[in-house]
Structure 1
Amino acid sequence: MATQPEIASDALAWLTNAGQTAKSWLLSPAAWSQFGLLALAYLAARLLARRIDPAIRRLLNPGDKDTLLATLRRFALRFVPLILPVLAYGFTAMGEEVTRSLFGSGEVIAFGKRVFLFLAARIFVRDVLTDSFLRLLGRYVLLPVMALYALGILDEISTRLEETVVELGNIRFSAMSLLRGLIAGSLLFWAGSWSNRQSADYIKKQQELRPATRELAVKAVEVMIFGAAFLLLMSIMGIDLTAVAVLGGALGVGIGLGLQQIAANFVSGIILLVEGQTTVGDYVELDGGEKGTIVKMTARACVLETFDGRWIVVPNEHFITTRVVNYSDQGSANRYEAAFSVSYDTDINRVPEIIETAVALLPFVLQQPDGPDCELRGFGESSVDFAVEYWVNGIDDGKNKYGSQVLFAIWNALKEAGVEMPYPHRVVELRRQGPK
């Protein structure tokens, strides 16, 4: 026995004590009376739960409504399975008071009370929790803790964990602090992610705000939520926040020396969100030739989607330090032109009216800020050159083929009016040199 590990010796001692306790309970009339009270408490809780369960379900039934009150009722309905173990726990607690006042002891009924609490935790994990992460945490953290509490050894194990020290360099943690930090950190960052999603959905629904303002608000809320979660976790783990300040200073030096581009892109992203000159949904073209619709703005870069479905990741700094052409501002009108030519035999005075009438009939061509305008552009080698300018509410980016439909309309209108669209003619002169 002297060669056994300490944990094995402790387990063996606990099993021995548990066996002696169980034996004393089996031989004690007071213990048997407490077992009877436990059974009576469970039966009373079962009968009462069977009566009030349907009434509570009818009271909380939300129907087909989709209001806030209906959502709260659906949430409360998930807790109905807890009625039985909670009632059993309450009746057992009252029985414990009676037993201790009559017999001066109540270990058996106190054990039963803890078992009912464990059953409540098991139902809570199985039936109430719906999120997969929370259910995993409940299965592997909450239930083992409640099992240890039911067996009455949770305090002893907590003391052992507090006395066990984990050293990471110059930093010393107790095993209990480390476990507490892991569990609290998991819960805090899950709650932060959930809160961030809810707040982001709420902010994005506020259509009266500019898109850039909504994106900035989402980022600000995200930083605040996770910053608060980090500081709270440091406090739970007992880490002095001055150490965090030193770490922040070191991180600042690292940013200044080696992460200049990342810092520049981050600051540029904030400037873009504050100014709102470019935002999600805008069709832009940069000096480098990148062009497309902004589909996402992050702290480091903007994502452009081209008309053929490719995504281009452009660092935020490029939007600040280079020339950017913004073709749209959430659906503003844009002007395009289509060039064409007619023969020199044409009465060119008729052409503007023919083309402007044909283009104006297209459903996507706007009359405001200006209708179609056909202009004479020049006299070529074999044709008279024209161009028609027109306004549309969108971008001709391949998805919206405005230019193609306008050219079809020009072709059909000229054919119908008998106007010839010329093609180059060349005169080739062949000279044959005779014999000398």
Structure 2
Amino acid sequence: MDGQSELVTQAMGYLNQAWDLAAGWLLSPAAWSQFAILLVAYFLAVLVSRRLTRALVSLITPPADQTHLIAKGRRFILIFLPLIMPVLAYAFTGIGEQITRSLFGSGAVIAFGKRVFLFFAARILVQTILQDPFLKLLGRFVLVPVAGLYALGILDEVSTYLEELTLGLGNIRFSAMSLVRGAIAGSILIWLGNWSNRQSADYIGKQEMRPATRELAAKAVEIAIFGAAFLLLMNIIGVDLGTLAVLGGAIGVGLGFGLQKIASNFISGVILLLEGQATVGDYVELDGGEAGTIVKMTARAAILETFDGKWIAVPNEDFITTRVINYSDAGSAKRYEAPFSVSYDTDINLVPDLITKAVAKLPGILKDDHRPDCELRGFGDSGIDFALEFWVNGLDDGKNKYTSDVLFVIWNTLKDAGIEIPYPHRVVEIKGGFPQ
């Protein structure tokens, strides 16, 4: 009961102070003059902002077909035009405050009005101007409440209370204000880091460089951005970076022993990006039998997509420690063979020229530096064996079926020329004749 009566007494004391303040304002000529100045400043700001906004819109708005940097900057400026009214009201109120303080020596009411206009500006910024969901959320739950506390004149008291309120985590003590400051700064830094990372990745992606170098540059920029953001956040919270370095060293030693494979794959990925032996878009085949096109390279593994649509995650270490065949490296021209046979009754001198001319007409078959070559390979049991060697740009699989097309051409060419493709056959000799 004593505690409740003391709380009621404090509440009544605050109410009495508020009533005395309100009564003093209502009965004071200086207060009435300040109210009048606030109204004049508000209506004058509304009239001037309407005219000024129309003039600025017609002056700054670029033609619709312009997309260069200056035009984008002008469109960006137009976004902030709704702030003209509260900013003008704040400026006009400041002029009125100088007048009232020179005449009456008081300006509490008009100072409160100035803070209210700043609160309106914060609300307009959050509700109308900010379009990013994260910034809008941050403004709604951080900027607007802070502006409200500032308008009521209790922001310093709340800050002092939060500074004095301490929280413990083992031997480490934090003030509530430092945690709030860290949460706000951390959110902003993460958003800025993501935005900067996207912008830098887009810029790097437009540069003329190898895909591996481009990927490495993007990763390096990402690590630098978020590393700097983390160190800045620790400084804002008040964590001693020297202590953090000792703790980071201990954690690094532990990770080095416990996560050797992950560290090895990470270093291997950096080596791959630096040397460019395999990069996104290459078709590779490993000793373990994994084969496919590299569609993505992460810090831990490379993602291969096979021709049947399966995705295989191959650790980066396998690209360093095992043999890797890169079908897309050192030029894209590749040689394939199409074997076939003809009958022993065929004039084999006619076959090479006949087949090479027919195959050379196929689209995709190289003709200049790597011409088709028909070679005699041997005399088989059923026929005379040939093989056609041809070169193409790309892989003979997936969407490209070069060998299949070549075999079709060989079949049709031999049929048109009347050359027989022999069936397998055997000659059986029976000694001593058939039994009676």
TM range (shorter): over 0.9
Instruction: Please give the per-residue CA displacement for 1:120-170, whole angstroms capped at 9, x wherever unaligned.
Output: 111111222111111111111111111111111111111000000011111
Q: Which amino acid aligns with 1:60?
A: I
Partners of 2:401 and 2:410 in 1: how far apart?
Answer: 15
The 5 Å alignment of 1:34-49 reads: 34-49=34-49
Aligned position for 2:171? 170
Q: Give deviations 1:60-92, integer Å, cap 9, x for gaps.
A: 213221111111122111111111111111111
| 1:367-406 mapped onto 2 (5 Å cutoff) | 367-406=367-406
CA distance in 1, matches of 2:65, 2:306: 43
Q: Following the alignment from structure 1 to structure 2, what is the Cα–Cα distance between the partners of residues 411 and 199? A: 55
Distance in 2 (CA, whole Å) between partners of 1:330 and 1:9 is 87
Matches within 5 A, 1:12-31: 17-31=17-31
Which amino acid letter does the alignment assign opposite residue 265 of structure 2? Answer: N
Number of the residue aligned with 1:354? 354
> CA–CA distance in 1 between the matches of 2:5 and 2:242?
40
* 1:37-436 aligned within 5 A: 37-62=37-62, 63-207=64-208, 209-329=209-329, 332-426=332-426
Task: Describe the SS at the equivalent of 2:84.
Answer: helix
Mark the CA change 1:184 to 1:350 in structure 2 (over 3 Å): closer, same or farther.
same
Is 394-403 or 141-150 further displaced after alignment? 394-403
CA distance 1:355–1:5, change in 2 (3 Å): farther
Letter in 2 for 1:87: L
* Secondary structure at 1:293 match in 2: strand
Equivalent residue pairs, number: 434
SS of residue paired to 2:325: strand
Q: Distance in 1 between matches of 2:86 and 2:312?
A: 57
**1:11 CA displacement:** 7.2
In structure 2, what is the Cα distance between the partners aligned to 1:135 and 1:5? 43
Q: Which runs of 5+ in 1 are unaligned?
A: none
User: 1:272 and 1:206, CA in 2 relative to 1: closer, same or farther beyond 3 A?
Assistant: same
Residues 9-68 of structure 1 deviation map (CA, whole Å, 9 limit, x = unaligned): 877765554444333322322212111111111111111111111221122213221111
Q: Distance in 2 between the 1:380 and 1:26 partners?
A: 118
- For residues 79 and 425 of structure 1, the distance between their equivalents in structure 2, rounded to whole angstroms, comes to 89
Whole-Å separation in 2 of the counterparts to 1:10 and 1:102: 36
Which shifted more, 17-26 or 289-298?
17-26
Return the offset for 1:271.
0.7
Please give the alpha-carbon distance, in whole angstroms, between the structure 2 residues aligned to 1:13 and 1:104.
Answer: 27
Partner SS for 1:303: strand
1:423 alignment partner AA: Y
Secondary structure in structure 1 of the residue aligned to 2:123: helix
Taking only aligned residues, the RMSD between alpha carbons, in angstroms, comes to: 2.5
Partners of 1:374 and 1:388 within 8 A in 2: yes
**Distance (Å, rounded) in 1 between the aligned partners of 2:16 and 2:400:** 81
Q: How far 1:228 moved relative to its partner?
A: 0.5
- Report the more deviating stretch, 95-104 or 311-320: 95-104
Change (3 A) 1:139 1:267: same
Residues 344-379 of structure 1 deviation map (CA, whole Å, 9 limit, x = unaligned)? 222222221122112111121112431111112222
Cα distance in structure 1, aligned partners of 2:82 and 2:353? 79
Q: Are the equivalent residues in 2 in contact too, given 1:328–1:334 (CA < 8 A)?
A: no
1:296-320: per-residue Cα shift (whole Å, max 9, x none)? 1121111111122222111110000
Q: Which sits farther off after the overlay, 248-257 or 316-325?
A: 248-257
* More deviation, 245-254/175-184: 245-254
> CA 1:161/1:376 → structure 2, altered by over 3 Å: closer, same or farther?
same
Alpha-carbon distance change, 173 to 6 in structure 1, aligned in 2, over 3 angstroms: farther
Mapped to 1, the partners of 2:310 and 2:96 lie a distance apart of 71
Q: 1-side partners of 2:405 and 2:5: how far apart?
A: 85
| Partner Cα distance (1:107, 1:293) in 2 | 72
5+ residue gaps, structure 2, are: none
